[in-house]
Amino acid sequence: MTQYVINGRKPLSGKVRVGGAKNAILPALAAVLLTEKPVVLHDCPRLLDVEKTIMILKTIGCSVKRESRDLIIDPSNINSWIIPDSYVREIRSSIIFLGSMLARMGRAQITYPGGCEIGQRPIDLHLKGLKQLGVVIDESNGYLKCEASKLEGATIHLDYPSVGATENIMLAAVKAKGRTVIYNAAKEPEIVDLQNFINAMGGNIRGAGTNTVVIEGERKLDEVEYTVIPDRIVAGTYMVAAAITAGDVFIENVIPEHLQAIIYKLREAGCIVEVHGLNVRVKGKYRLRAVEHTKTLPYPGFPTDMQAQFTSLLSVARGTSIISETIFENRYRHVPELVRMGANIRVDGQTAIIHGVRSLKGTRVTAKDLRGGAALVLAGLRAEGQTIVENKSYIERGYENLEGALSSLGADIVKLS
């Protein structure tokens, strides 16, 4: 069993640097198929999800070399439009390849991605948008067989500002005839980064970051070197690590604007958060205070990907906090584990009621998903005694060398594989 072993109660201090954002790298790796020229992506951490997406690119004929934190990709010899089933099972976001494969080859095949750890995660909005661009989709025997003899620009209203659906439609629309307009598009920073990446290759997209994205089609894209945005969720996780251990941590390479909702909540809980250019400093306190009702929402609202980490933090704050998870239906699987550590949390539907306790006790707990797993590590940093977090591979999907980074800040954490 792969696990982290943590001896808690060490206040963290020092500096830590945040790398490129997983959720920006994955769509950028899909967007690579839009060009036949070489692409260099800088500052890509070794995350399990990134490495698996690289395997998809290799399987369909791309050459991908890693030089330290840079990926050098040659997409000139793509020879397949089929994403093997095993990858789709392992990395659900491989659905993002539909848009760029259709743009490049006019066809794409993928198994129907099922639910995942955090919920059902339907893909109806992706498929509806692609159909509006002229894609014919045959859904049979668990497969999605997509064909587009011609992609045509369209006006698309998303019923919900889905991040993945917005990205998939953007990718396909780059090669469609004419203009595509996406209304009620997702506004996440990763959408803006995808726009910037495609435009750096010669695309013409505008509006990302607002709820209307306009893509001018039939663009021929060229070679590019690009640095993706820093990971706001990794940054947020380190910020909570500082807060929950009553530490003092300087987090380098962040875009503070992307962290507004997190900074606001940390200050509300009583942390000192200072912004220094592209860095933030977080000073925690042993007993923070409960915060007003926190609802996860699409950006710029409080991110669902930080809900679990804040549940750990608020579990040791003074008073009662309420969190409502509005994005995913099954995202409280860390709560029973936190309760095993002594937290007092009750989940009622999509709402968690957290009565803060003075201390948590180390015990053996199990990560059930990526961010919930990170939340258990954070709880372990705070707990008395030893915490063992099983299933660390979930956490490695989105955190590079987490034990190394936390150890360098003074935590007592080792990984056993």
| Lookup result for tokens 């936190």 | 338
The CA distance from 223 to 36, in Å, is: 8
Going 147 to 114 to 100 to 173, the CA torsion angle's sign is positive
Largest Cα–Cα distance in the chain? 63
Q: Are 291 and 269 in contact (CB under 8 A)?
A: yes
- How is residue 155 annotated by DSSP? E
State the Cα–Cα distance between residues 66 and 289, nearest whole angstrom.
44
Q: Is 394 in the site for ligand UD1 (CB under 6 A)?
A: no
The contact pattern for ligand UD1, residues 210-249, with x = CB under 6 A and - = no contact, is ----------------------------------------
**Cα 128 to chain center, whole Å?**
23
Q: Which is nearer to ligand UD1, 78 or 297 (CB)?
A: 297
304 near ligand UD1, rule: CB under 6 A: yes
Concerning whether 116 is annotated as a catalytic residue, the answer is yes
Rank residues 85 and 159 by Cβ distance to ligand UD1 and give the closer one.
Answer: 159
Under the criterion CB under 6 A, does residue 160 sit at the interface with ligand UD1?
yes
Looking at residue 283, the DSSP 8-state letter turns out to be: E
> Which residues from 337-366 bind ligand UD1, rule CB under 6 A?
none
* Annotated catalytic residue, options 44, 62, 116, 271: 116
Residue 219 Cβ vs ligand UD1, minimum distance, rounded to whole Å:
23
Site stretch for ligand UD1 (CB under 6 A), options 9-17, 59-67, 120-128, 349-357: 120-128
Nearer to ligand UD1, 124 or 138 (CB): 124
Distances (CA, A) of 373 to 203, 311, 337: 38, 12, 10
Using the contact rule CB under 6 A, the part of the chain among 74-82, 115-123, 173-181, 339-347 near ligand UD1 is: 115-123
Positive/negative CA dihedral, 33, 38, 44, 49: positive
- Could you tell me the strand order of the sheet in which 386-390 lies? 364-366, 386-390, 3-7, 412-416
Q: Which is nearer to ligand UD1, 259 or 288 (CB)?
A: 259
Report the distance separating Cα 304 and Cα 117, nearest Å: 14
Contact flag: residue 122 with ligand UD1 (CB under 6 A) = yes
CB-wise, 163 or 374, nearer to ligand UD1? 163
Q: Which stretch binds ligand UD1 (CB under 6 A): 137-145, 158-166, 224-232, 247-255?
A: 158-166
Q: Could you say which residues in the range 166-195 bind ligand UD1, by CB under 6 A?
A: 186, 190
Under the binding rule (CB under 6 A), the answer on residue 163 touching ligand UD1 is yes
> Which one of 23, 111, 195, 294 is in contact with ligand UD1 (CB under 6 A)?
23
Interface residue with ligand UD1, options 125, 148, 291, 409 (CB under 6 A): 125
Q: Which of 271, 263, 254, 369 is nearest to 317 (CA)?
A: 271
CB of 388 to ligand UD1, least distance (A): 26
Sign of torsion over alpha carbons 252, 254, 256, 259: negative
Q: Does 327 bind ligand UD1 (CB under 6 A)?
A: yes
Distance, CA of 263 to CA of 277 (rounded, Å): 14
* C-alpha span between 67 and 43 (Å, rounded): 10
Minimum distance from residue 382 beta carbon to ligand UD1 (Å): 24
Rule CB under 6 A: is residue 126 a binding residue for ligand UD1?
A: yes
Binding residue for ligand UD1, selected from 74, 305, 390, 403, defined by CB under 6 A: 305
- Smallest gap from Cβ 176 to ligand UD1, in A, equals 19
Q: Give DSSP secondary structure letters for 302-333.
A: B-GGGHHHHHHHHHTSBSEEEEE--S-TT--T
Q: How many residues bind ligand UD1 (CB under 6 A)?
A: 20
- Beta carbon nearer to ligand UD1, 126 or 415: 126
Distances (CA, A) of 61 to 55, 57, 58: 10, 7, 5
CB of 160 to ligand UD1, least distance (A): 5
Q: Does 47 bind ligand UD1 (CB under 6 A)?
A: no
**Does residue 369 bind ligand UD1 (CB under 6 A)?**
no
Bridge-partner residues for 65, per DSSP? 72
Which residues sit at the interface with ligand UD1, rule CB under 6 A?
Answer: 23, 26, 93, 121-126, 160, 162-165, 186, 190, 304-305, 327-328
Which positions are annotated as active-site residues? 116
